């Protein structure tokens, strides 16, 4: 019993330590954002643009079909059990407030978080980070900061695209099997979406982007000297990112909607 | 380095309370009973290892190892060429060579000095390639060019003849002689006797973690 309690205690301390490390890392990156040094701005802009392209533009081919499928599935089912009035509200409740953010975050984790962890892991193991330091450049400034800005921006854009495609695309499917007028449907959506939904969407986007970026970068930088540690780090980064996004999602939903 | 102690790595003994002074125009050859200790010494000179004890003074300024950011202004003045030296894999050779210029001057485009060095070392046609696409000799040459472009105040070389064929090594030696004649201090680690004869002014021996200078 003592050993079990000891193990639980040590585990709790280790996880708390890890969370504090992640918060410290966020603080370190945000310090760079606040300082805005003149050096490296053009390089930063290029890397941010690249990250947005990799995370958002290249993800469209996955996000759009998933949004269409999910939107259609939900709307087809709820169209059977709800009236016209309820359908718009349900669409906003499920797609805009909950499924949209979480599924977008999942796609970004599967694509970008894993890539970022692998890239930074390799850079650490192969001494590329040291080479950047030996050039007098802070690796956090050209690796961590642009990825935070790029991934967060990409997530916000993908939220919007997911919601639009899920709602409009889903409606098209429903329209072929029922005779709901588009104007009524869009009117109900418009009434159901509030300013709070937009604020919550932005808050979730920023929080998800930060959680995913910081977790994947942290795991990549901690890969050590062995290349065999990189797959382990990548797996941990993805699972942790997903867990944090789920926790953040429920916390924000409870805070704003309960 | 004063009273400098570093924890052992690999199969080495570490470095125990070593005192080492590098002045302008100095040229030191480092030999060690264990390769890991020699490598550790070179990395310590490049400020890539945190000491357990002791002080590192750079032109009279004591370096603060508590945060890596305090060391960055000094690291960029040190040219360190070793088998570990890497280029950034997801950037082209040109981007790698112009990294400092692009960062500190917010400038893009290759300059005359970079072009001249690339032509001299005959890698000017490889600037649009990524490091993974280069052979080991060209990779090493790119690292050498990058370090020379820093206009370093100190040069650290580990096994300089490794990965370089005789012709390219001769080109590198010529540039190195010019640099040492201009007074840049040089510290190198090599088993090449000819290189040691050509460049060594003094010798430091690391034995069981202790440094002896002659």
Q: What is the pLDDT of residues A72-94, one digit of tens each?
A: 888 877 777 765 557 777 777 88
Yes or no: say if B79 and B150 are a contact pair by the CB < 8 Å rule.
yes
Which candidate, B38, B73, B61, places its Cα nearest to that of B159? B38
Which candidate, A153, A166, A57, places its Cα nearest to that of A103? A166
Predicted local distance difference test score (pLDDT) of residue A82: 62
- Does residue B91 sit at the A interface (CB-CB below 8 Å)? no
Q: What is the pLDDT of residues A162-199, one digit of tens each?
A: 999 998 887 887 777 766 777 877 787 888 888 888 89
Mean pLDDT of A21-43: 89
Instruction: Tell me the chain B residues in contact with residue A135 when contact means C-beta distances shorter than 8 Å.
Output: 75-76, 99-100, 103, 146, 150
User: Model's pTM, two decimal places?
Assistant: 0.88
Strand segments, DSSP code E, in A173-222 are none
Instruction: Tell me the chain B residues in contact with residue A115 when contact means C-beta distances shorter than 8 Å.
Output: none
Predicted local distance difference test score (pLDDT) of residue A83: 58
Q: Between A42, A123, A133, which is nearest B68 by CB? A: A133
Tokens 């570990």, residue located = B84
Predicted local distance difference test score (pLDDT) of residue B92: 93
> Which residues in chain B come in under a pLDDT of 50?
none
What secondary structure, in 3-state letters, does A107-176 show? HHHHHHHHHHHHHHHHHHHCCHHHHHHHCCCCHHHHHHHHHHHHHHHHHHHHHHHHHHHHHHHHHHHHHH
Predicted local distance difference test score (pLDDT) of residue A59: 93
Mean pLDDT of A42-55: 93
pLDDT confidence of A113, banded at 50, 70, 90?
Answer: very high
The domain ranges of chain A are 1-35, 51-257
Does this complex have an ipTM over 0.85? Answer: yes
Predicted local distance difference test score (pLDDT) of residue A223: 87
B151: tokens are: 């206009």
A-B Cβ pairs (cutoff 8 Å, strict): 71
Report the C-alpha gap between B143 and A244 in whole angstroms: 40
Cα Rg of chain B (Å, integer): 17
Q: Residue A127 contacts by C-beta under 8 Å, 6 or more apart in sequence?
A: B84, B85, B86
Predicted local distance difference test score (pLDDT) of residue B146: 94
- Does residue A57 sit at the B interface (CB-CB below 8 Å)? no
Pairing between strand B2-6 and B15-18? antiparallel
Alpha helices in chain B, H assignment, sequence order: 35-45, 68-75, 93-97, 99-104, 112-120, 136-149, 166-181, 193-199
Q: What is the pLDDT of residues A133-150, one digit of tens each?
A: 999 999 999 999 999 999
Yes or no: say if A121 and A223 are a contact pair by the CB < 8 Å rule.
yes
Portions of chain B given CATH number 3.40.50.300: 1-77+153-214
Query: Helices A182-192 & A84-91, crossing angle to 10 degrees?
Result: 50
Superfamily grouping for domain B1-77+153-214 = P-loop containing nucleotide triphosphate hydrolases (3.40.50.300)
Alpha-carbon separation of residue A223 from A124, A133, B184 (angstroms): 7, 17, 36
């Amino acid at each position: 019993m003592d050993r079990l309690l000891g193990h639980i205690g040590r585990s709790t301390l280790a996880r708390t330590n890890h969370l504090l490390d992640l918060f410290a890392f966020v603080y370190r990156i945000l310090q760079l954002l606040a300082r805005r040094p003149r050096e490296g701005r053009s390089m930063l802009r290029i890397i941010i643009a690249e990250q947005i392209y990799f995370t958002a533009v290249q993800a469209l081919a996955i996000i759009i079909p998933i949004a269409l499928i999910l939107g259609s599935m939900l709307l087809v089912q709820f169209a059977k059990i709800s009236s016209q009035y309820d359908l718009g509200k349900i669409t906003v409740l499920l797609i805009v407030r909950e499924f949209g953010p979480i599924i977008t975050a999942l796609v970004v984790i599967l694509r970008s978080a894993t890539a970022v962890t692998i890239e930074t892991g390799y850079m650490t193991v192969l001494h590329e980070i040291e080479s950047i330091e030996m050039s007098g450049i802070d690796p956090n400034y050209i690796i961590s900061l642009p990825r935070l800005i790029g991934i967060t921006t990409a997530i916000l854009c993908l939220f919007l695209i997911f919601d639009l495609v899920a709602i409009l695309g889903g409606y098209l499917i429903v329209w072929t099997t029922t005779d709901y007028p588009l104007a009524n449907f869009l009117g109900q959506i418009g009434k159901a979406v509030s300013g709070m939904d937009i604020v919550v969407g932005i808050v979730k986007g920023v929080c998800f982007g930060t959680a995913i970026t910081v977790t994947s970068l942290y795991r990549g930088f901690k890969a050590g000297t062995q290349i065999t540690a990189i797959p382990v780090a990548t797996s941990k980064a993805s699972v942790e990112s997903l867990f944090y996004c789920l926790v953040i999602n429920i916390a924000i939903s409870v805070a704003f909607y309960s | 380095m004063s009273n400098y102690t570093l924890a052992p790595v690999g199969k080495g003994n570490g470095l125990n309370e070593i005192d080492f002074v590098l002045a302008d125009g100095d040229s030191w050859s480092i030999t060690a009973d264990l390769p890991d200790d020699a490598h550790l010494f070179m990395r310590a000179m490049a400020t890539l290892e945190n000491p357990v004890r002791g002080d590192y003074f750079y032109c009279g300024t004591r370096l603060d190892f508590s945060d890596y950011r305090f060391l960055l202004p000094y690291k960029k003045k040190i040219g360190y060429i070793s088998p570990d030296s890497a280029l950034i894999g997801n950037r082209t050779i040109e981007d790698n060579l112009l990294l400092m210029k692009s960062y500190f001057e917010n400038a893009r485009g290759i300059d005359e000095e970079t072009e001249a060095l690339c032509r001299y070392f005959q890698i000017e046609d490889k600037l649009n390639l990524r490091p993974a696409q280069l052979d080991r000799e060209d990779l090493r040459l790119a690292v050498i060019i990058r370090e020379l472009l820093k206009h370093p105040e100190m040069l650290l070389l580990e096994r300089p003849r490794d990965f370089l064929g005789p012709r390219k090594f001769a080109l590198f030696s010529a540039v190195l002689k010019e640099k040492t004649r201009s007074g840049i201090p040089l510290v190198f680690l090599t088993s090449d006797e000819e290189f040691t004869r050509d460049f060594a002014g003094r010798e430091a021996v690391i034995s069981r973690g202790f440094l002896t200078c002659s």
